[in-house]
């Protein structure tokens, strides 16, 4: 998304900033990792208003996740696993945010506000790339759900897998507990129970999925920390060489 706006940002540093946010979301409540990501990205943007721009990008990612989640819910509705009304928030929130962004862009010429409202100014190709990445992440989660269901010999149907994924998404949307507290696992267990999976099997699937997801977040975050350390070391070495070259 930054590249879409003509801003160069090293891929390694981007993965590092995002990965450390994943670790923070695992251990801290209130989606504190999102705030950490904004701060880390803003410190590396070599321009004024970097924090506003990073905040606007974060909003775009959240809205893309909402759209993809709405599509998952839509499939669940088509399979008669979910009521129609559950789609409304996932559709209304992106539309309302985009509309507010358009009003802000037309009503204010302030550059910082425009950066925050970047959601309303993205081109269709940029949205396509963002939605593609978010969709890939959702499919990876769905594949993990199917793998866990198969490993624990739980009746595996598209409806059961989608209901489980929706339960995880709803649990992650609740901001009052850290990701590692198991709220998403509890929501997944309840959803599987409503889908007809026995309580013991539903709990086993939820705990197993939660363990894999937490391990992936920690591994991703640790890799991100390492990338940021390597980037900082390279920058310090370049700074040390510059005086010698000038001399």
Q: In sequence order, what are the residues at sequence separation of 6 or more whose Cβ sits closer than 8 angstroms to the Cβ of residue 80? A: 159
Mean residue pLDDT of the chain comes to 79
Highest mean pLDDT: which of 62-66, 178-182, 234-238, 239-243?
62-66
Max mean pLDDT range (3-7, 42-46, 79-83, 213-217)? 213-217
Instruction: Please report how the helices 50-78 and 88-107 are oriented relative to each other, as an axis angle in degrees rounded to 10.
Output: 150
Nearest to 13 by CA among 213, 219, 216, 233: 233
Whether pLDDT at 35 is above 60: yes
Give how far Cα 202 sits from Cα of 57, 159, 206, 233, 241, Å: 36, 14, 6, 47, 59
pLDDT at 240 (0 to 100) = 65
Report the range of poorest mean pLDDT among 25-34, 82-91, 94-103, 233-242.
233-242
| 216, two tokens | 């992936």
Q: pTM for the complete prediction?
A: 0.78
Please report the pLDDT score of residue 243 as a whole number: 55
Q: What residues have CB less than 8 Å from 4, skipping those under 6 apart?
A: 122, 123, 125, 126, 129
Query: Does the pLDDT at position 48 exceed 80?
Result: no
Instruction: Give pLDDT tens digits for 86-127.
Output: 787 777 877 777 777 667 666 655 566 666 656 666 778 888
- CA dist., res. 58 & res. 64, Å (int): 10
**Among 29, 65, 27, residue whose Cα is nearest residue 165:** 65
pLDDT grade, residue 219 (50/70/90)?
very high
pLDDT at 135: 92
Tally of residues, the chain: 247
Contact 222, 7 (CB under 8 A): no
For the stretch 133-175, pLDDT in tens is 999 988 898 889 888 888 888 876 777 888 888 888 777 776 6
* Sequence ranges of the domains in the chain: 3-246
């Amino acid at each position: 998304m930054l590249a879409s706006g003509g801003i160069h940002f090293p891929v390694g540093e981007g993965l590092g900033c995002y990965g450390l946010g994943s670790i923070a979301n695992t251990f801290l409540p209130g989606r504190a990792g999102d705030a950490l990501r904004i701060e880390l990205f803003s410190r590396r943007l070599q321009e004024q208003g970097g924090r506003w721009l990073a905040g606007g990008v974060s909003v775009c990612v959240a809205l893309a996740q909402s759209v993809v989640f709405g599509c998952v819910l839509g499939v669940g509705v088509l399979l008669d696993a979910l009521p129609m009304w559950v789609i409304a928030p996932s559709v209304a929130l992106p539309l309302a945010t985009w509309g507010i962004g358009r009003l802000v862009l037309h009503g204010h010429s302030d550059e910082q506000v425009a950066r925050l409202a970047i959601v309303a100014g993205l081109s269709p190709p940029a949205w396509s790339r963002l939605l593609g990445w978010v969709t890939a992440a959702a499919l990876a989660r769905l594949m993990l759900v199917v793998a866990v269901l198969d490993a624990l010999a739980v009746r595996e149907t598209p409806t059961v897998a989608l209901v489980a994924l929706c339960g995880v998404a709803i649990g992650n949307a609740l901001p009052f507990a850290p990701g590692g507290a198991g709220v998403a696992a509890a929501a997944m267990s309840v959803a599987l129970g409503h889908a007809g999976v026995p309580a013991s099997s539903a709990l086993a699937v939820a705990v197993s999925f939660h363990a894999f997801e937490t391990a992936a977040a920690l591994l991703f975050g640790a890799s991100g920390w390492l990338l940021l350390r390597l980037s900082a070391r390279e920058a310090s070495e370049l700074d040390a060489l510059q005086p010698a070259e000038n001399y």
